[in-house]
Structure 1
Amino acid sequence: MMKLKQRVNKLTGLTALFCGLMLSASAQQNFKYQAALPKVDSTGFYRISLQPALVAKTKADLADIRIIDAKGNFVPYITAGSLPQKDQKSFAIFNSVDARLVTDTGTTFTVENKTGYTVDRLWIRLQNTAVQRKVNLAGSDDLKQWFAIQEDIPLQEAVQNSKGTYLQSLSFPASNYRYLKLLVNDKNKTPIKFLQAGIYTEYAAMQNYVAIGPIEQSRTDSNKTSYITLKLNDTYQVNKLHINITAPKYFKREVSVYQIVGKEKQLLADAELNSAKATDLLIAAKSNQLLLLINNGDNLPLNIKSVEAYQSDESVISYLDAKQSYRLLTGDQTAQAPEYDLKFFADSIHTNLSQISHGAIEKNTGYQTGSKKVGRDYTMFIWIAIIIAAALLLFLTLKMTKEVNKKADKDNI
């Protein structure tokens, strides 16, 4: 009897292991690309820098980033922007503005950025809520024409506390719009309550960028306008363009920046090139082709030596074990941003973390979708093994039950 019970327990464990392997393999199959992480020397939290080549393979909101260990388990992480800043004195509250449009469907909360800083994250304070909502973020310089910055950003639920309010960080591509609008997708639902929004000025002043290349540049000058086309070798996230202008010495020109998506031309920003300040254009693009239109008026065209593209510094933070193997996965356009418990403990993570980066981007050998399969598909074999194991488990369980009943009958005689 004892031996039979041990067999049942052992088979149950094996069945659970098979199920875990099958589910893990299935989850990994949705991601097209992978990149290895270096083994760390000591266990702890690490800041993992996401290089432009990897971000180019992700969704615009980075929702399909995953970290996986050697056993195939997903490892929790948070975005670097979710870390709260310790110095409350550097927190600048943005004034709220009434800028609701007729076309807005849902709760809106608009604030004005008077600091002049380029921001890639916004801290918002909300009244405690336990509902799940997503928000779209848009920017404007005149409260009339609005441009999309990021969509479907998940709002966190409140952590249990006695304050009645909570603070959440929203991370997005770097932007210098004067006005920022949060539009909550809560049509026909009870609205949530925004209290304030702002930035940590000390953090905003330290915005870093990573160079993107190579860039194929072409130019046409006609009808008082210079058309500059920038072609990239992948769909990069572009947050800054630096234009190297060598002549004339003094200039002040209007410039419009577009991204080309398919056959569409989408306006990203209207800005100014001025010899009195840095010729940097801050944008939020996810494209392999950009177009600059410079209005020369009655002036000669600008002498432009080159145009450099940059991505804002993107990183995630995760707890890694020493000497263990980890990989980054990405490339699933259907993926939603993961919800890990780690987000509730962001305030206990030190901001001064060791930084690591990933290796070269490779195709995920386990990826498959539809009729396309990379490598040999063992899913059917796993299912057969699970069915056989389950059938054997059922047989042994019934046998054990029958023997228990026989013993009980003997004891009753």
Structure 2
Amino acid sequence: MMLKLKIKLFSLLLLCTSIANAQTNTYKFKRSITGVNTVWHKMTLPDDLYKKANAGFEDLRIFGINGKDTIEVPYLLKQRADKVTTNDITFKQINQSTNPNGYYYTFQSPGINLINQIKLAFKQDNFDWKVTLEGSNDNKQWFAILSDYRILSIKNNDTDYQFTKLNFPDSKYKYFRVAVKSPIQPELLEAKISKTDTIKGTYKEVRYKSFDVKNDLSKKETVVDVTLNTPVPLSYLKLNAQSDFDFYRPIKIEYATDSFKTDKGIQYNYANLYEGTISSLEETAFNFENTVTSRLKITIQNNDNKPLRLSSLQLKGNISEIIARFDEPKSEYALYYGNEKATNPVYEIEKFENKIPVDLTSVNIGAEQQNPAYSIKTEKPLFENKAWLWVLMVVIIGLLGWFSFKMLKN
């Protein structure tokens, strides 16, 4: 009787274990989560996780185990990038005049508005002008906002570049006056006046392992290969570029998606991150979608110009943060990943994000472990088995011999 009871208890334990493993056995890796003491928590993904997780994080799962019960924890994955909002302000042009100092364009708003950006559009394609910007509340007394601000447009077979956006500190006036110093009459098509606000995201500085610059004279381009120590998210790149003269050149930033071996060593396949212009008129910094990679390639088209002096760069990535709801804080929780076939989970909390508390305490993610429940085995193709190959050869030889014998007999 006692033996039967022990067998039943052992069978029940095996059944519970197999049920728990059924939810977690497709994930190669796990990390313990500690510090859960309430329903809502946040956690920051560690850098060494990105190398093993899927590039799009489709395989991230949080499971809690409490005895025989295994529960899946719903979560939101947040990448805190800069959030830029632009509000256009209603202005109308009320005056256009000229004197020996330049050409003047005056704009009026129904009220006194706070602005920090004016985008100008001209009919001319090629120009290099200086601009002065002033503000006034009575259209009589004017106060300087910008002085000798350079705007530029170049369009030819090699370049199509414009820099006609006036950026300045927040300014609150009813009237704004733009003065353009130009040897010819500027043909102003549009002036878009706006207030731009930026809510800063959460970034982490990323150190690079190597920075290799090569100037290819035959292709008239400079190529910079940047290698990181491990795959991490990147969304910001600032290049230290110097020249004795003003410059504006096409730039392309790519990231390595995978690698392959050749006779010349390891080669890489690349995908685009950013294409635009690097210019002495603007900050040589570029923002792009947060992307996990361990290698970058930067290509600058020099045309017939002297290559720029490139000495270093600055890299940043948005921190990836998980916001999770732990319905049973007393359970033992772990983060699982490493399933190439996983698809993005769909949780209801995504629709009710506004109800999640703002101030969340952090929990800890432990070191990476091999998931002991992982049971997916890679089956080798049938014909990689030598025994099957020998059997197949014997069958083929036998069939050939039988057909030969039949032919000779006939």
TM-score by length of 1: 0.51
**Of 197, 209, 212, which aligns to 2:203?**
209
1:38 equivalenced with 2:34 (yes/no): yes
Question: Which residue of structure 1 aligns with residue 74 of structure 2?
Answer: 77
Counterparts in 2 of 1:22 and 1:297: CA distance versus 1, 3 Å: same
Give, in whole Å, the separation in 1 of the partners of 2:41 and 2:245. Answer: 46
**Of 339, 350, 359, which aligns to 2:346?**
339
**More strand by percentage:** 2
Give, in whole Å, the separation in 1 of the partners of 2:316 and 2:287. Answer: 10
Question: Which residue of structure 2 aligns with residue 178 of structure 1?
Answer: none
The aligned length equals 251
Give, in whole Å, the separation in 2 of the partners of 1:346 and 1:296. Answer: 48
Give, in whole Å, the separation in 2 of the partners of 1:231 and 1:291. Answer: 9
Query: What is the Cα deviation at residue 331 of structure 1?
Result: 1.4
Query: What is the Cα deviation at residue 239 of structure 1?
Result: 2.1
Unaligned 5+ segments in structure 1 are 1-6, 84-89, 94-115, 117-200, 373-413
8 Å CA contact 2:42–2:323 kept in 1: the answer is yes
The SS at the match of 2:354 is helix
8 Å CA contact 1:52–1:236 kept in 2: the answer is yes
Give, in whole Å, the separation in 1 of the partners of 2:73 and 2:199. Answer: 29
Give, in whole Å, the separation in 1 of the partners of 2:226 and 2:60. Answer: 27
**Of 223, 226, 231, which aligns to 2:222?**
226
Query: What is the Cα deviation at residue 22 of structure 1?
Result: 0.6
Give, in whole Å, the separation in 1 of the partners of 2:249 and 2:79. Answer: 38
Q: Which amino acid aligns with 1:256?
A: K
8 Å CA contact 2:62–2:334 kept in 1: the answer is yes
Query: What is the Cα deviation at residue 276 of structure 1?
Result: 3.7
Equivalent positions of 1:22-33 (< 5 A) are 22-33=18-29
8 Å CA contact 2:61–2:72 kept in 1: the answer is yes
Q: Which amino acid aligns with 1:31?
A: Y
**Of 368, 371, 377, which aligns to 1:364?**
371
8 Å CA contact 2:64–2:73 kept in 1: the answer is no
Instruction: State the Cα RMSD in Å.
Output: 3.8
Query: What is the Cα deviation at residue 81 of structure 1?
Result: 4.7
Give, in whole Å, the separation in 1 of the partners of 2:256 and 2:346. Answer: 32
Give, in whole Å, the separation in 1 of the partners of 2:40 and 2:320. Answer: 16
8 Å CA contact 1:247–1:302 kept in 2: the answer is yes
Deviations 1:326-370 (A, max 9, x none): 321111111112233433443321233223452333443443431
Counterparts in 2 of 1:330 and 1:310: CA distance versus 1, 3 Å: farther
**More helix by percentage:** 1
Query: What is the Cα deviation at residue 240 of structure 1?
Result: 2.1
Counterparts in 2 of 1:19 and 1:211: CA distance versus 1, 3 Å: farther
8 Å CA contact 1:77–1:340 kept in 2: the answer is yes
Give, in whole Å, the separation in 1 of the partners of 2:48 and 2:375. Answer: 22
8 Å CA contact 1:39–1:322 kept in 2: the answer is no
Give, in whole Å, the separation in 2 of the partners of 1:323 and 1:226. Answer: 57
1:68 equivalenced with 2:47 (yes/no): no
Counterparts in 2 of 1:26 and 1:294: CA distance versus 1, 3 Å: same
Give, in whole Å, the separation in 2 of the partners of 1:218 and 1:273. Answer: 19
Give, in whole Å, the separation in 1 of the partners of 2:353 and 2:12. Answer: 33
Query: What is the Cα deviation at residue 51 of structure 1?
Result: 3.2
Q: Which amino acid aligns with 1:281?
A: F
Question: Which residue of structure 2 aligns with residue 326 of structure 1?
Answer: 333
**Of 320, 336, 361, which aligns to 1:354?**
361
Give, in whole Å, the separation in 2 of the partners of 1:23 and 1:38. Answer: 23
Give, in whole Å, the separation in 1 of the partners of 2:28 and 2:244. Answer: 48
Counterparts in 2 of 1:20 and 1:287: CA distance versus 1, 3 Å: same
The alignment-based identity, stated in percent, is 18
Equivalent positions of 1:372-411 (< 5 A) are none
Query: What is the Cα deviation at residue 275 of structure 1?
Result: 3.3
Give, in whole Å, the separation in 1 of the partners of 2:283 and 2:247. Answer: 12
8 Å CA contact 1:29–1:368 kept in 2: the answer is yes
The SS at the match of 2:70 is coil
The SS at the match of 1:351 is coil
The SS at the match of 2:52 is coil
Counterparts in 2 of 1:310 and 1:18: CA distance versus 1, 3 Å: same
Query: What is the Cα deviation at residue 45 of structure 1?
Result: 0.7
Equivalent positions of 1:125-204 (< 5 A) are none
Give, in whole Å, the separation in 2 of the partners of 1:365 and 1:91. Answer: 51
8 Å CA contact 1:77–1:316 kept in 2: the answer is no
8 Å CA contact 2:58–2:343 kept in 1: the answer is yes
Equivalent positions of 1:288-299 (< 5 A) are 288-299=294-305
1:47 equivalenced with 2:42 (yes/no): yes
Q: Which amino acid aligns with 1:302?
A: L
The SS at the match of 1:46 is strand
Give, in whole Å, the separation in 1 of the partners of 2:309 and 2:241. Answer: 6
Question: Which residue of structure 1 aligns with residue 390 of structure 2?
Answer: none
**Of 228, 232, 235, which aligns to 1:236?**
232
Give, in whole Å, the separation in 2 of the partners of 1:247 and 1:35. Answer: 49
- Larger radius of gyration between Structure 1 and Structure 2: 2
Counterparts in 2 of 1:308 and 1:32: CA distance versus 1, 3 Å: farther
**Of 316, 329, 342, which aligns to 2:322?**
316
Counterparts in 2 of 1:361 and 1:247: CA distance versus 1, 3 Å: farther
Q: Which amino acid aligns with 1:347?
A: N
